[in-house]
Chain A
Amino acid sequence: GAVVSQHPSWVICKSGTSVKIECRSLDFQATTMFWYRQFPKQSLMLMATSNEGSKATYEQGVEKDKFLINHASLTLSTLTVTSAHPEDSSFYICSARGSFLGLAGEGGELFFGEGSRLTVL
């Protein structure tokens, strides 16, 4: 099956610094990727939709200047947490939707990265 790789899996940083998380689709092209945040024992919370070659679409309540998303190619999206603070500590997960049906307009499976645990001191 399709693989989505996320890096780093674990990062600790000091308050005020910026952290970049990468999400790559390894064996399929993803024009759209999604970024989520997950707190302990809670479900996934969609933060933004990353569109290749255009601006990301952010969910209500998510600060676009704080969570910078860049989708530079069909296989790579990055999330940068700028000026991180302890309240930004969380588990960040990306996903990409791929299709092996080869049919335009058909739905595809959603594959997730392994997640990145951010701890801001």
Chain B
Amino acid sequence: QKEVEQDPGPLSVPEGAIVSLNCTYSNSAFQYFMWYRQYSRKGPELLMYTYSSGNKEDGRFTAQVDKSSKYISLFIRDSQPSDSATYLCAMSAKNYGQNFVFGPGTRLSVLP
């Protein structure tokens, strides 16, 4: 079993739809969770960062963490064509110098 699993996609939705992106993990030591958006041929861009269970909202984006079930989700409301990208979840144990473990990414296409 991989440490972090993510729905591979690709996922296509119409403009305005609500998108749900999900990751599950097996390491209960993970304490920090992030979502990144990566456009083609660009470095990943940090969207959301959280270190507690529950929901965190930022504009059209909501990150949800359930540590008891070991899954995290990213919801995108009112999706736009500009949201078309690959979304990566990442997580880390409580250790400042450690790298994050990444999911394989979900490719999202929002169709106008």
Q: Which residues of A contact B (CB under 8 A)?
A: 1, 4, 6, 31-32, 34, 41-44, 46, 49, 51, 91, 93, 97, 99, 104-115, 117
23 sample A-B contacts, Cβ–Cβ < 8 Å, listed by A number: A1-B46, A4-B43, A32-B96, A34-B99, A42-B104, A43-B88, A43-B103, A44-B102, A91-B41, A93-B44, A97-B96, A104-B96, A107-B32, A108-B96, A109-B46, A110-B46, A110-B92, A112-B44, A112-B46, A114-B42, A115-B41, A115-B42, A115-B43
Closest to B99 in A: A34
Q: Bound complex: CA of A111 vs CA of B105, how far in Å?
A: 17
Say how far B59's CB is from chain A's closest CB, in angstroms: 15
Q: Is B94 part of the binding interface, using a Cβ–Cβ cutoff of 8 Å?
A: yes
Which residues of chain A have C-beta atoms less than 8 A from B104's C-beta?
A: 42-43
- Establish whether residues B31 and A107, one from each chain, have CB atoms under 8 Å apart when the complex forms: yes
- Establish whether residues A110 and B97, one from each chain, have CB atoms under 8 Å apart when the complex forms: no
Interface size class of B (residues with CB under 8 A): 20 to 34
Q: Is B45 part of the binding interface, using a Cβ–Cβ cutoff of 8 Å?
A: yes
Q: Bound complex: CA of A49 vs CA of B107, how far in Å?
A: 27
- Establish whether residues A31 and B43, one from each chain, have CB atoms under 8 Å apart when the complex forms: no
Q: Bound complex: CA of A113 vs CA of B45, how far in Å?
A: 9
- Establish whether residues A111 and B97, one from each chain, have CB atoms under 8 Å apart when the complex forms: no
Which residues of chain B have C-beta atoms less than 8 A from A42's C-beta?
A: 104
- Assuming the contacts A105-B96, A106-B94, A107-B51, asked whether A113 and B43 have C-beta atoms less than 8 A apart, the reply is yes
- Establish whether residues A105 and B94, one from each chain, have CB atoms under 8 Å apart when the complex forms: yes
Which residues of chain A have C-beta atoms less than 8 A from B100's C-beta?
A: 110
Return the contact of B95 from the options A4, A107, A112 (Cβ within 8 A).
A107
Closest to B10 in A: A41
Say how far A96's CB is from chain B's closest CB, in angstroms: 11
Closest to B101 in A: A46
Q: Is B25 part of the binding interface, using a Cβ–Cβ cutoff of 8 Å?
A: no
Closest to B44 in A: A112
Which residues of chain B have C-beta atoms less than 8 A from A4's C-beta?
A: 43
Say how far B36's CB is from chain A's closest CB, in angstroms: 7
Return the contact of A106 from the options B36, B90, B96, B103 (Cβ within 8 A).
B96
